[in-house]
């Protein structure tokens, strides 16, 4: 448990460290008044046209959706693989599952995912023009 507390404290110290540097810079650095266009967004020296809250390509959302599938897959695979070798190789240790059964289960799971990727691929979700 202490080991997890250390991570928490470490994160806190990191945030404070970064924050302190920014506060120090705020106090120490000189400040000059805004004359003209100092605070404008930098868009190659031209005046910015419109806001940056623009609509962007739908493709990014589709990528995010496919990503979600694979990320959840990884979450499922981690615990399965953690016990896979003991379940798959040691019938002597009292496992009721035969090794072949366990491996087929795993392959089936991955095959479904591979099919999902194949489907997205054929639907041209993964293509940029």
Partner 1 sequence: MGSLMTVLTNPWVIMAIKIGVGLGLVMGMVPMMVWMERKVSARFQLRRGPNRVGPFGLFQLIADSLKLLWKEDFLPRNTDRIIFLAAPIMAFLPGVLSFALIPIGVAGGNELLGPGGVMAVSYISMGLLVAMAVSSVAAYGIAFAGWASNNQYSLLGGIRSSAQLISYEIVMGMAVVSLLMMTGTLNLGEIVQQQQELLFGFIPSWNIIRQPLTFILFLVAAFAETNRAPFDLPEAEQELVGGYHTEYTGMRYAWFMNGEYAAMFTMCSILTTLFLGGWGFPGLGRLSGILHLVVLGQDIQWMLVGLITFGAFFTKVALLVFFFMWVRWTLPRFRWDQLMKLGWNVLIPLGLANIIGTALFLEYVASRFGFGG
Minimum CB separation from partner 1 for residue 97, in Å?
14
* Contact pattern for partner 1 over residues 50 through 89, marking x by CB under 8 A: -xxxx-x---x--xx-xx--xx--x--xx--xx-xxx-xx
How far apart CA 117 and CA 119 sit, in angstroms, is 5
Q: Which of 6, 97, 101, 124 binds partner 1 (CB under 8 A)?
A: 6
Residue 56 zone, left/alpha/beta (φ > 0; ψ -120 to 50; rest): beta
Please count the residues of the chain.
129
How far apart CA 33 and CA 39 sit, in angstroms, is 10
Helix ranges restricted to H, 32-126? 59-89, 99-122
Q: Which residues bind partner 1 (CB under 8 A)?
A: 2-7, 9-11, 13-15, 17-19, 21-22, 24-26, 28-32, 38-44, 48, 51-54, 56, 60, 63-64, 66-67, 70-71, 74, 77-78, 81-82, 84-86, 88-89, 99, 103, 106-107, 110, 113-114, 117, 121, 126-128
């Amino acid at each position: 448990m202490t080991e997890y507390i250390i991570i928490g404290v470490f994160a806190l110290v990191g945030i404070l460290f970064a924050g302190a540097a920014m506060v120090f810079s705020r106090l120490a650095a000189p400040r000059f008044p805004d004359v003209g266009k100092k605070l404008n967004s930098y868009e190659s020296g031209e005046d910015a046209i419109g806001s940056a809250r623009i609509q962007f390509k739908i493709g990014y959302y589709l990528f995010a959706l496919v990503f979600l599938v694979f990320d959840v897959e990884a979450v499922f695979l981690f615990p399965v693989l953690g016990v896979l070798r003991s379940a798959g190789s040691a019938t002597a240790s009292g496992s009721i599952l035969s090794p072949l059964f366990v491996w087929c289960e795993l392959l089936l799971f991955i095959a479904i995912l591979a099919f999902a990727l194949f489907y997205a691929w054929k639907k041209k979700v993964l293509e940029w023009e």
